[in-house]
Amino acid sequence: MAEKQEATPAQTAVAAVVVVIGAGVLMAWCSGGGEDRQAHRGDARVLCMDHVRDQLRDPGSAEFSGWGDSETAVDEDNGTFEVRGWVDADNALGGTERHYYTCVADHQDDGEYTLEITRFD
């Protein structure tokens, strides 16, 4: 039967460093670039708002729902974001009208987005 040897302090330190580095790599891999995803989510929201604004009779009167209100952006884990919300804008009669919208922003490999409004009522 082999005799059990205790690890030296240097061996223990090396093992601890390996475990910490491994955990860091695993966490980075699992997070999937969360900061980039958040940045793209913000880009998609702004671009969709601009695209919706272009559909309005009076784009300068647009007041959009906020992040914490009815606005949501959903990452489909493939570079596609669905932005939903509402916008209040002046209508032809001088009153304010609320429109609900859904906009799909597809983040392309070249960094650009393709935009499509799938709901506007």
pLDDT at residue 117 in the model: 96
Tell whether pTM > 0.75: no
| Count of domains forming the chain | 1
* Structural domain includes residue 18: no
Query: Which residues 6+ apart lie within 8 Å of 71 measured at CB?
Result: 45, 64, 65, 83, 84, 85
* Structural domain includes residue 20: no
Q: Residues 103, 106, 107, 112: is their CA dihedral positive or negative?
A: negative
The tens digit of pLDDT for each residue in 46-91 reads 999 999 999 999 999 999 998 777 677 777 678 789 999 999 999 9
H runs (alpha helix) in the chain: 9-31, 34-53
* Structural domain includes residue 82: yes
pLDDT at residue 6 in the model: 65
Domain holding 106: CATH number?
A: 3.10.450
The Cα–Cα gap between 100 and 86 comes to 4
Query: Which residues 6+ apart lie within 8 Å of 92 measured at CB?
Result: 57
| Domain that includes residue 37, residue range | 33-120
